[in-house]
Structure 1
Amino acid sequence: MDELNQNRDETLNRLAPEKKTGIQSVDRALTILEIIAASTGEISLNDICARAGLNVSTGHHLVKTLVSRNYVAPGSGRGTYSLGSQVLTLAGAVNWQSNLSGRAQPLLDHLNATTGEAVHLAVLEGVDLVTLIKREARHALRVDAGSIGKTGACHATATGKAILAWLPEDEALKVLEARGMRAFTEKTITDRDRLLQELHQVRTDGFAVDNEEFQQHVVCVGAPILDQNGSVIGSISVSTPTVRASDEHLALVRREVMAATGKLSGRAPETAKN
């Protein structure tokens, strides 16, 4: 027990006030959360303030704000606090995202086998669309499945549009402004307002389509993967050459892509009811 207390005290000491940069109130709030976490239980407001180098009045206002957002919870003793339920929600979202590739592997294999086409799993890292996993088509005639890694084609791909459609509009615009809207083919949408209209339709339908916008003679269908809070964390798409893109085949692709993303999502995408 003495060793446990010593380790706890060493951790808390490392969180003692240092020279800070950035927004002071945010930094202080995060420091409070770290101090409470390091206490491995309940900790008094006075101890929190002492460790954080805050006067009690300032510490009380910060803790009160964190309590109102459920990041901190009142303890069993008077004037004591512990971590709140919202911290568990964030932790769950992190675990959900970090395990995405592993959870997706069997579903991508099934999707590849069922459609016979190229399959992609992509995420947005900052403003970059990143392909994490791909599966080549099983046909002799196949599309170029591209490579693993970054691409500046959010606006022109089914994986990209599926992600953009479920982002808040201001975040989607940041991606478009940072990476531009290059014309990859004559069908690429390069007008921002027109793309925003399509993204609204994508969200209504629940899936996105790249109709020869990234590669000539290639049609792709993609759908979003959502976390438990309904935020988009990635997307899956299937690519097929136009010679196989019959209405029947594309309907199969849509069903299978949306089934796969539905199984990976913590919450089903909200779509318009027909």
Structure 2
Amino acid sequence: MGRNGALTGTASVRKAFAMLDVVATNSRGVSAKDIAAALDMPLPTVYRLLKTLVASEHLVHLKDQGRYGLGYKLHALDTSLRRQVGTPPAVARIIRELHVRSDAAAYYAVHRGDDIIVAHVVESAARPRITPMGFGFNDAAHATAFGKVLLAAMEPEHRRSYLARHGLPEMTSRTIQTIEELEAQLCEVRDSGIAVEREEFLMGASCLAAPVTNPAGQTIGSVAVSMSPADFAARATNVSGMLRDAADKVGKALRGTHLLAN
């Protein structure tokens, strides 16, 4: 394949992934015309790529509705991703215990390559997680408590590189907007062993997080909980103790596993 052909192929791949994102936004699926409008893409191109994505089983054609939905191949990819991220059953049990003890949605986050991602979440109807902080969430580390824990543990050069790539997007009026302010908070995280986030990611939700460390004292993950601002004000001190206890248990549970080397 010549250089122009390679570029054309790369563009098609980008368009195909963009189409998957559009289809994923609607639980009922979307029409080809909807996709074309959302991406400002010629309809013939949309149909050509849809045919490829249906053939690969990444999308399904809901012919009776004239729509396209996510395909079943994506379920296999999700299963494989969860296996690669690798939250051991013992760690999952500790996060569930934290959810019950703290009466709050509970999270476990880790480094994966250059990303900070949510590896496990336990929630309930009464204490739902923050949307969209489900498994695989990897955005706005500066505006999340677990993100601050993992940012605080990075070497300064690594942290600068991470922030240069991701920036400090404003999620709410309370989101940290300057590197200087963020660095001051990260210093507090290192001193106290607890990260605090008060409506910085989403108004109406606040979080606390604690670091998971290995025997050498290196931070390899974070446990966190989210709650309403009113609950935060009333229970932050008690929940902080629960977080430290859960983080210690997770660190011990990871000893002897390949995940401890992260």
Give the TM-score category using the shorter length: 0.5 to 0.7
Relative distance call for 1:190 and 1:127 in structure 2 (3 A) is farther
**Aligned-partner Cα distance in 2 for 1:101–1:214:** 28
Matched, 1:255 2:223: no
Relative distance call for 1:100 and 1:142 in structure 2 (3 A) is closer
Relative distance call for 1:101 and 1:179 in structure 2 (3 A) is farther
> What's the CA shift for 1:244?
2.0
Kept in 1, the 8 Å contact 2:130–2:226? The answer is yes
- Aligned runs of 1:125-204 on 2, under 5 Å? 125-137=112-124, 139=126, 143-144=130-131, 146-204=133-191
Kept in 2, the 8 Å contact 1:117–1:138? The answer is no
2:209 alignment counterpart? 222
Relative distance call for 1:214 and 1:128 in structure 2 (3 A) is same
Q: Deviations over 1:201-235 (max 9, x none)?
A: 11100010111111111110001111222222111
Find the residue that maps to 2:137 and give its secondary structure.
strand
Find the residue that maps to 1:234 and give its secondary structure.
strand
**In percent, how many aligned pairs have the same letter?**
27
> What's the CA shift for 1:99?
6.8
What number of residue pairs does the alignment pair up? 169
Find the residue that maps to 1:186 and give its secondary structure.
coil
Relative distance call for 1:242 and 1:101 in structure 2 (3 A) is same
**Aligned-partner Cα distance in 2 for 1:141–1:232:** 27
> What's the CA shift for 1:145?
6.4
- Aligned runs of 1:38-49 on 2, under 5 Å? none
Find the residue that maps to 2:142 and give its secondary structure.
coil
Relative distance call for 1:179 and 1:211 in structure 2 (3 A) is same
**Aligned-partner Cα distance in 2 for 1:218–1:143:** 7
Kept in 2, the 8 Å contact 1:219–1:242? The answer is yes
* TM, length-normalised to structure 1: 0.57
**Aligned-partner Cα distance in 2 for 1:246–1:233:** 28
**Aligned-partner Cα distance in 1 for 2:149–2:238:** 18
- Which of 210, 213, 220 is the aligned partner of 2:197? 210
Larger radius of gyration: 1
> What's the CA shift for 1:138?
5.6
Runs of 4+ more than 6 Å apart: none
> What's the CA shift for 1:238?
0.2
- Look up the equivalent residue of 1:150 and give its one-letter code: F
Find the residue that maps to 1:132 and give its secondary structure.
strand
Larger deviation, residues 130-139 vs 250-259: 130-139
> What's the CA shift for 1:163?
0.8
